[in-house]
C-alpha cells in the first residue's frame, strides 16, 4: 500500500452544465470529442444526465441536473457551465482520502465503492478552491466503458482535432488566497511549487496578477493558481471571479502534437481564438530562435511561441466558451519546454484586455 496520496494522472474532468445533451453535441461538433458513455433517465439515473466525451487520453464528463433543486442545478445557476470536478487517478482511493483529510482537506464524499458486471470502481472526494471538488479515482479493478451506472454510447466524432491529453488545469482564486492554496496543494496533494510569478512578471498597462505553478513529482499533474493584483484597471482574474461568483477553474490546456493542424481544424469547426497582433511575429525567430514550424502559418492562425532552457512551446487560447467571461481552453504543443509561455504573458493579457474592453469590463 502507498504511504501517500500517490496521484498517477488526470482521470477526467467533470463539467456541470445547463444542458448536458446540447453540451455533448458542442464538444463533439466544435472540439472533436467522441461520446463514449451515458447515464440518464433511460439508464436508471433519476436526477442527473451525464455524457462521457473522449479524445486521446482526455475524458470530459458533462453533467446536468434533472431537478432544479439538485446541487448541480444550483451550482450551474451560480457559476454557469464550469469545471466542477478535477478527478485524479490514484493507486488507492481510501488511502488518498485518509491522508488528505488527515492533512486538513475537507471531506465531500467519503470512500465509496460501486460495482457491476465489469468490476469494482472506488472513489472519494474532497473540497478544493471555490466549489471545485477534487476526486480520487481507483479504477484498476474496473473494466467497463467508464463507471457503474453508465452505458456505452459510441458515436463518431465530427472531426478528431488531434487533442492528446490534459496538460494543465488553471484555477483562479481571490486576492490574498493564493498562498493558502499553494500550501494546500503542497501538504494535501503532495505537489511541488514549480514556479512563481509576481505582478512584475505578469502585468500590462491596466492590470496585473500573480501565479504559482503546482506540479506532481512525475510532471503528470500541473495545477497553476492565479490571483489578482492591483492595477489601473480590472484584471482578467477579477473579471473571472465576479462572473464565476468566486474561485474556480479558469482554463484547461490540451496537449497536441501538431498545433497547426489542430487549430486549423478547430477554427474550421467554429472555435474562436484570441486575436494576436501581426506585429507579434515581427522578428519572432530572432527573439525565440529557430523553430520547426512556419512562422507565416503561426501568424495566420495567431499561435504564440516561447522558449526556455529546455526547448520551446507553441500555444493558443480560445475565447470563453460561454457568454460569461469565465471558462476557456488552451491548445499547447511542447518541444522540450515544460514551461507555460512566460514570454507570452504580456501579449496574452493584452489580447484578453482587448476582449474585456469590448465587454465594458476593463
* 211-250 residue pLDDT tens: 899 999 889 999 999 998 876 566 788 889 999 999 999 9
Cα–Cα dist 249/223, whole Å = 10
Give the domain-ending residue among 90, 117, 152.
152
323 and 227 fall within a common domain: yes
Q: Is the dihedral of CA 24, 252, 317, 258 positive or negative?
A: negative
Give the domain-ending residue among 124, 152, 180.
152
Query: What's the CATH code of the domain at 267?
Result: 3.10.180.10
Question: Which residues are CB-neighbours of 134 under 8 A, at least 6 positions away?
Answer: 85, 86, 87, 88, 105, 125, 126, 127, 128, 189
Note whether residue 48 is domain-resident: yes
Note whether residue 1 is domain-resident: no
325 and 235 fall within a common domain: yes
288 and 178 fall within a common domain: yes
pLDDT of the residue at 341: 61
Note whether residue 37 is domain-resident: yes
198 and 72 fall within a common domain: no
28 and 124 fall within a common domain: yes
326 and 179 fall within a common domain: yes
60 and 207 fall within a common domain: no
Note whether residue 157 is domain-resident: no
* Domain, as residue range, for 208: 163-359
Note whether residue 158 is domain-resident: no
Task: Give the containing element (helix H, strand E) for 16.
Answer: strand 7-16
204 and 60 fall within a common domain: no
> In total, how many domains does the chain have?
2
pTM over 0.85: yes
Residue with cell 488531434: 162
82 and 201 fall within a common domain: no
Q: Is the dihedral of CA 136, 141, 147, 149 positive or negative?
A: negative
148 and 176 fall within a common domain: no
Give the domain-ending residue among 107, 128, 152.
152
174 and 144 fall within a common domain: no
Condensed to tens digits (0 to 9), the pLDDT of residues 286-345 reads 888 999 999 999 999 999 998 889 999 999 999 999 999 999 999 999 999 887 766 566
Note whether residue 2 is domain-resident: no
Cα–Cα dist 7/170, whole Å = 18
In a structure prediction context, what are the per-residue pLDDT tens digits for the chain, which is 362 residues long?
456 888 999 999 999 999 999 999 999 999 999 999 999 999 999 999 999 999 999 999 999 999 999 999 999 999 999 999 999 999 999 999 999 999 999 999 999 999 999 999 999 999 999 999 999 999 999 999 999 999 999 888 788 999 999 999 999 999 999 999 999 999 999 999 988 887 666 666 666 778 899 999 889 999 999 998 876 566 788 889 999 999 999 999 999 999 999 999 999 999 999 988 888 888 888 888 999 999 999 999 999 998 889 999 999 999 999 999 999 999 999 999 887 766 566 666 666 667 776 777 65
70 and 16 fall within a common domain: yes
CA 55-16-208 angle, 5° bins: 90
Amino acid at each position: 500500500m502507498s504511504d501517500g496520496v500517490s496521484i498517477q494522472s488526470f482521470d477526467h474532468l467533470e463539467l456541470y452544465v445547463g444542458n448536458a445533451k446540447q453540451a455533448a453535441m458542442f464538444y463533439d461538433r466544435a472540439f472533436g470529442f467522441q461520446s463514449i458513455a451515458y447515464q440518464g433517465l433511460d439508464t436508471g439515473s433519476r436526477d442527473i444526465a451525464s455524457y462521457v466525451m473522449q479524445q486521446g487520453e482526455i475524458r470530459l464528463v458533462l453533467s446536468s441536473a434533472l431537478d432544479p433543486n439538485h446541487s448541480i442545478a444550483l451550482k450551474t445557476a451560480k457559476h454557469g457551465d464550469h469545471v466542477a470536478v478535477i478527478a485524479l487517478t490514484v493507486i488507492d482511493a481510501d488511502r488518498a482520502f485518509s491522508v488528505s483529510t488527515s492533512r486538513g482537506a475537507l471531506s465531500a464524499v467519503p470512500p465509496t465503492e460501486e460495482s457491476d458486471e465489469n468490476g469494482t470502481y472506488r472513489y472519494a472526494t474532497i473540497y478544493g478552491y471555490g466549489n471545485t471538488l477534487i476526486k480520487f479515482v481507483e479504477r484498476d479493478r474496473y473494466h467497463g466503458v467508464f463507471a457503474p451506472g453508465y452505458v456505452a454510447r459510441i458515436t463518431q466524432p465530427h472531426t478528431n482535432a488531434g487533442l492528446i491529453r490534459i496538460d494543465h488545469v488553471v484555477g483562479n482564486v481571490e486576492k490574498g488566497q493564493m498562498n493558502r492554496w499553494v500550501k494546500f496543494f503542497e501538504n494535501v496533494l503532495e505537489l511541488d511549487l514549480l514556479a512563481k510569478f509576481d505582478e512584475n512578471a505578469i502585468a500590462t498597462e491596466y492590470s496585473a496578477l500573480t501565479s504559482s505553478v503546482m506540479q506532481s513529482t512525475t510532471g503528470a499533474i500541473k495545477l497553476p493558481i492565479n490571483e489578482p493584483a492591483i492595477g489601473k484597471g480590472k484584471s482578467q482574474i477579477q473579471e473571472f471571479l465576479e462572473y464565476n461568483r468566486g474561485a474556480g477553474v479558469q482554463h484547461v490546456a490540451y496537449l497536441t502534437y501538431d498545433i497547426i493542424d489542430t487549430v486549423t481544424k478547430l477554427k474550421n469547426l467554429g472555435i474562436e481564438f484570441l486575436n494576436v497582433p501581426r506585429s507579434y511575429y515581427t522578428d519572432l525567430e530572432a527573439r525565440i530562435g529557430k523553430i520547426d514550424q512556419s512562422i507565416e502559418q503561426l501568424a495566420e492562425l495567431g499561435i504564440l511561441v516561447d522558449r526556455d532552457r529546455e526547448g520551446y512551446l507553441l500555444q493558443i487560447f480560445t475565447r470563453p466558451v460561454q457568454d460569461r467571461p469565465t471558462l476557456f481552453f488552451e491548445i499547447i504543443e511542447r518541444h522540450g519546454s515544460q514551461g507555460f509561455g512566460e514570454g507570452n504573458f504580456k501579449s496574452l493579457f493584452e489580447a484578453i484586455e482587448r476582449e474585456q474592453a469590448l465587454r465594458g469590463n476593463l
